[in-house]
Homo-oligomer: A and B are copies of this chain.
């Protein structure tokens, strides 16, 4: 990671805009809030949907954008080389591993199966002590309220501890989501595992 890539926040989000302008507005506002607080963006590298909205907003507000794009997805998601530095990789796994290496925090905007998976993977990596970075869900328009219910069900049924539930912080606005990066405290109840010689994911 180069010195010029400090303070990047990884944003997970959909490659569609959604059918209510509230989602586009949230992505645009999140990009602005990130730059206002001194953060750049690392993300999947696409131009489509909310991925493109948040990247363009960071770029338009003079923030740094780093995109990490698997070659096979370039045609499906577009490649945003006009808004930042694009890195082309060969697999989904390399994309996620490189985003994790570069990010100092993670924020999820609305998205589909891929976004849900990225969010839950980075949550699981925290649970396994692979990282201790903030994991924040921007629950705009109540989009992620059902996921919050799913986590509550898992806690109530005994599959997630009440403390580990706090690995993920749910926020209602882009301002709160960015503020939550600084106030984040990783739960001390997470597993203390030994991934040697280097943390593999």
Taking Cβ atoms with an 8 Å cutoff, the residues of A that contact B are 14, 16-20, 23, 72-73, 76, 90-94, 97, 110-117, 120-121, 123-125, 127-128, 141, 143-147, 149-150, 152-154, 157-160, 164, 167, 191, 193-196, 200-201
What is the CB-to-nearest-CB distance from A190 to chain B, in angstroms, rounded to a whole number? 11
CA distance A142 to B110 in the complex (A): 24
Task: Tell whether A14 pairs with B124 under 8 Å between CB atoms, given A91-B200, A93-B200.
Answer: no
Task: Please tell me if the beta carbons of A116 and B111 are within 8 angstroms of each other in the complex.
Answer: no
CA distance A142 to B179 in the complex (A): 35
Task: Tell whether A193 pairs with B73 under 8 Å between CB atoms, given A93-B93, A150-B147, A159-B18.
Answer: yes
Copies in the complex: 2
Determine chain A's interface SS by DSSP, over half rule: helix
Partner of A147, one of B110, B127, B146, B160: B146
Instruction: Return 7 A-B CB contacts under 8 Å, by A number.
Output: A18-B158, A72-B193, A76-B193, A113-B120, A117-B120, A146-B149, A147-B147
Closest B residue, CB atoms, query A20: B157
Q: Known pairs A18-B157, A72-B195, A146-B147. 5 more at Cβ < 8 A? A: A93-B93, A111-B154, A116-B120, A146-B152, A147-B150
